[in-house]
Amino acid sequence: MEELNKISYLDYNATTPIDPRVFKAMLPFLKDNFANPSSTHHFGQSINGKVKQAREQIADFINAESNELIFTSGATEAINIAIKGIAESYSNKGKHIITLSTEHKAVLDTCKDLERKGFEVTYLPVQPNGLIDLVELKQVIRPDTILVSVMYINNETGVIQPIKEIATLTHQNGALFITDATQAVGKIEIDVDALGIDLLCFSGHKMYAPKGIGALYVRNKTKLTPQTHGGGHEQGLRSGTLNVPGIIALAKACEIASEEMALNQRKISALRDKLETEFLELPNTSLIGDLENRIFNTTNICFKGQDANVLIGRMKNIAVSNGSACSSAVIEPSHVLKAMGLNDDDAFASLRFSLGKYNTIEDIETVVNKIKELTQPNFKYA
């Protein structure tokens, strides 16, 4: 936590620090308890027992059965296994998939890959507030639609989609529903049964566990064609020796999240609201997203006329995000903000602030003061 004390870190949607209790729980499995849980000797089997326990705990956290959980390296891998696996398994029924234009690249690029393989993908536009239009979903869903993929909570805007309604509509039309819940698990209560979710992906490093561990929930009886082959681990759906320290860490992170969820929601939303109010009182600022249907830790604000990348570069010891994808050294405006109708200039002028459980009022004051200083009309860069 030492590094965290030196900076005002408001980028928890990008990644979270490891909770020291999570770190403590996983440590013995990095060192002394190193056996392979697939080994048949007693040492291996004792570790296998711990993995089993952790699997039950994590499954329970989303109200799933333990045999419905596949451990992966993170959300991206889970999404790939799920979408490609469903496409291959159900291609006899149809080759049409529906997703949102505001999805994470892990979903969009997986869909692009499937298009190259003969599938048809509808990238549904969103409303200006980032929410799905259910009437439009009803219009585009067809008898040959096999899968609808909609992110639970958007990583850039915090907008929460109406997951239950989408799942119901999807099932009424005979398709399966998958949600990328990477920004939801750990923050809000999730019950895959009550919501009617068939497949769900999430990632440890967004919920105070380390990078390199994630999970895929697959409702029992859902057919999934394996995309990786090898030792047949994880019911043949994700071959490869299990990441035991990561799994133990994820279980501990779920336990802590479950105990502290209400407290975090209260504390973090108060800080987020303070930050947001301060910014929205400034001239030429506006909120991006939906005021009602959004997660308590995120705010995305357009500072009209500013360049978010310049602002970020000018803020030493402050970590916020511009939500724009930087690939191959070309900085592009965020596809999420563009899909919500922002022009390039406004998309480049937007900053995402995502808070977490270690933030303090001092962090908020530091960030507010610095951005106020940098955006005042007569401010001259040194």
Helix (H, G, I), strand (E, B) or coil at 94: coil
The β-bridge relationship of strands 298-303 and 285-288 is antiparallel
- Shortest distance in whole angstroms from residue 266 CB to ligand PLP: 23
Helix (H, G, I), strand (E, B) or coil at 342: coil
d(CA 331, CA 317): 22
- Shortest distance in whole angstroms from residue 44 CB to ligand PLP: 27
- Binding residue for ligand PLP, selected from 76, 102, 300, 306, defined by CB under 6 A: 76
Active-site amino acid positions = 326
Residue 336 touches ligand PLP, criterion: CB under 6 A: no
Smaller CB separation from ligand PLP, 77 or 370? 77
Residue 335 touches ligand PLP, criterion: CB under 6 A: no
Give the C-alpha distances (Å, rounded to integers) separating 101 from 77, 185, 339: 20, 22, 6
Rounded to a whole number of angstroms, the CA Rg of the chain reads: 21
Residue 214 touches ligand PLP, criterion: CB under 6 A: yes
Site for ligand PLP in 163-202 (CB under 6 A): 180, 182-183
d(CA 201, CA 143): 25
- Shortest distance in whole angstroms from residue 170 CB to ligand PLP: 19
**The residue type at 290:** D
Residue 16 touches ligand PLP, criterion: CB under 6 A: no
- Binding residue for ligand PLP, selected from 104, 238, 335, 370, defined by CB under 6 A: 104
Residue 106 touches ligand PLP, criterion: CB under 6 A: yes
Binding window for ligand PLP (CB under 6 A); candidates: 43-51, 69-77, 222-230, 324-332: 69-77
Contacts of 88 (CB under 8 A, 6+ apart): 225, 227
- Binding residue for ligand PLP, selected from 102, 110, 145, 155, defined by CB under 6 A: 155
Residue count, binding to ligand PLP (CB under 6 A): 12
DSSP-assigned states of every residue in 231-297: S-TGGGTS-S---HHHHHHHHHHHHHHHHHHHHHHHHHHHHHHHHHHHHHTSTTEEEES-SSSB-TT
- Shortest distance in whole angstroms from residue 104 CB to ligand PLP: 4
Smaller CB separation from ligand PLP, 47 or 132? 132
Residue 95 touches ligand PLP, criterion: CB under 6 A: no
Q: Which residue is nearest to ligand PLP (CB)?
A: 74
Residue 285 touches ligand PLP, criterion: CB under 6 A: no
- Pull the structure tokens for residue 201: 């992906």
Residue 98 touches ligand PLP, criterion: CB under 6 A: no
- Binding residue for ligand PLP, selected from 74, 186, 210, 333, defined by CB under 6 A: 74
Smaller CB separation from ligand PLP, 68 or 103? 103
- Return the bridge partners of 221, or none: none
- Which single residue is written with the structure tokens 């959300």? 75
- Binding residue for ligand PLP, selected from 47, 54, 108, 151, defined by CB under 6 A: 151
d(CA 51, CA 245): 9
Give which of 135, 161, 158 is closest to 149, Cα–Cα: 161
- Shortest distance in whole angstroms from residue 195 CB to ligand PLP: 17
Contacts of 378 (CB under 8 A, 6+ apart): none
Binding window for ligand PLP (CB under 6 A); candidates: 1-9, 71-79, 117-125, 328-336: 71-79
Give which of 285, 279, 304, 310 is closest to 381, Cα–Cα: 310
Helix (H, G, I), strand (E, B) or coil at 319: strand
- Shortest distance in whole angstroms from residue 93 CB to ligand PLP: 27
- Pull the structure tokens for residue 241: 């020796």
Smaller CB separation from ligand PLP, 312 or 374? 312
d(CA 145, CA 331): 34
- Binding residue for ligand PLP, selected from 48, 149, 203, 350, defined by CB under 6 A: 203
Binding residues for ligand PLP (CB under 6 A)? 74-76, 104, 106, 151, 155, 180, 182-183, 203, 214
